[in-house]
Amino acid sequence: MDIINKKTTLDDIKKFLSENGYECDEVVENRLIFTIKGVKSSAAMMPSGNILFMITLQLKDGLNEYEVLKKVNEINFQIISGNLSVKDGVAMFCYTLIRPYGMGAKSFKEFVDYHTFTMSYIVEELGLSEITK
């Protein structure tokens, strides 16, 4: 597969990611589990053809979830598109690729890198050391 089209499957997405240096662990039901820079992520193919990406981060014990969410969303609003939610000590960052038909492997890699590495930047560089991988 050279480009994403209506017939693209999670196995095709796995191949795209593997060819671009990501560790693709497994496809479980409708989710692909993969690792980038030590951060475990997943992707799900939605019935609409959209691809939903999820990064789960664990909060250290004793933190005020509201303050963490407020700080990350303040930064998130400025530089990345996506949604961050916090519940019971877990932060979930989600972003979606809307019907990416015609996108090639290089563009796909850039899209995933941008969101993942920007989230890593937020965590590591902007004083959010209270979030762990």
- pTM for this model (two decimals): 0.79
HSE-CB at 32 with a 13 A cutoff on CA atoms is 23
Q: Tell me the residue range of the domain where 71 lies.
A: 10-132
Q: What is the pLDDT of residue 133?
A: 44
Residue 3 inside a domain? The answer is: no
List pLDDT tens digits, range 51-109: 999 988 777 777 777 777 777 767 666 666 677 777 787 778 888 888 778 888 888 88
**Residue 27's pLDDT is what?**
84
- With respect to residue 98, please indicate whether it lies within any of the assigned structural domains: yes
**Position 47 in a domain:** yes
Asked if residue 5 belongs to a domain, the reply is no
Q: Mean pLDDT for the chain?
A: 79
Q: How many domains does the chain have?
A: 1
| Closest listed residue to residue 12, CA positions, set 28, 23, 20, 1 | 1
Which CATH number fits the domain that encloses residue 63? 3.30.1460.10
